[in-house]
Chain A
Amino acid sequence: MLSILYTVSMSSRLLNTIYEKRTANRLTQSELAKQVGVTRQTIAAIEKEAYAPSALLAFQLARALGTPINELFQLEES
């Protein structure tokens, strides 16, 4: 008897609206980076969705931008 295993792989992507919220707050990447204690390149990488921040950094960004975290980050599943 053949048993066929179905594997379902779910890949998730973390989307964010940091660029929109940052520009709405009239902050540069450097200024935001300084507020949350990271480099400007890290903020750029997060905005490009090339890097997923840690939970701590995500909350710090939400606080710095005055936005609820669930408005700042969304999980996209494919």
Chain B
Amino acid sequence: MLHKIFHALSPVWQLLFATLSIAIIANMFTAVSSTTNGLTIDFTRFNSDLNLLLVGLLGVVGWLAHRQIVRYNNESGANLSLWTLSPPELLETDERTKAVSAKATRAVYVYSNYALPILIVAILFVHNSLLLISIAVVIYLVGYYGTYLRDIWPLLDEA
């Protein structure tokens, strides 16, 4: 099951990239505070150790994703992009895989139809806390990519 979750075609990689990027940007924004003259950067609030850790984790995730993509390209003869992070769905030509992707995309659309208004209301409640906003966005993304992964699960077996 792990090999399917971390398959080259799995959206888990996008989720990890998104989560770490949100954490890095949120950490950088904690250093920004508004004053009467505009925005200033308060480096005493910027946690450089945390950012180094997050950037390091991002590098590790990128390296692991790179390895999976190279292995998948070699085994299947596909040409997944290593650097542009373009979705593998853009390379699909087979009608059955397109149908599975279409069903998964539709499921994500329906999920977002309900989850986005909930996310917006949640953000309104916690708009003072960047940490809680980030957590709310990450929870939404977990559902977003998890819904997609659920529907493309059969394709990961064969790929």
Nearest B residue to A38 via CB reads B94
A53 in complex: contacting residue of B93, B95, B97, B158, CB < 8 Å: B95
Decide if the interface of chain B is mainly helix, strand, loop or mixed: helix
Closest A residue to B93 using CB positions:
A37
Number of interface residues of B (CB under 8 A): 6
Set of chain A residues within 8 Å of B94, measured between Cβ atoms: 37-39, 42
Interface string of A38-55 (1 = CB under 8 A from B): 110110010000010110
Give the distance to chain A from B76, nearest Cβ to Cβ, in Å: 9
A64 on interface, CB distance cutoff 8 Å = no
Closest to A39 in B: B94
- Apart from A38-B94, A42-B94: 12 A-B pairs, beta carbons within 8 A: A37-B93, A37-B94, A38-B95, A38-B96, A39-B94, A39-B97, A41-B96, A42-B95, A42-B97, A45-B96, A53-B95, A57-B95
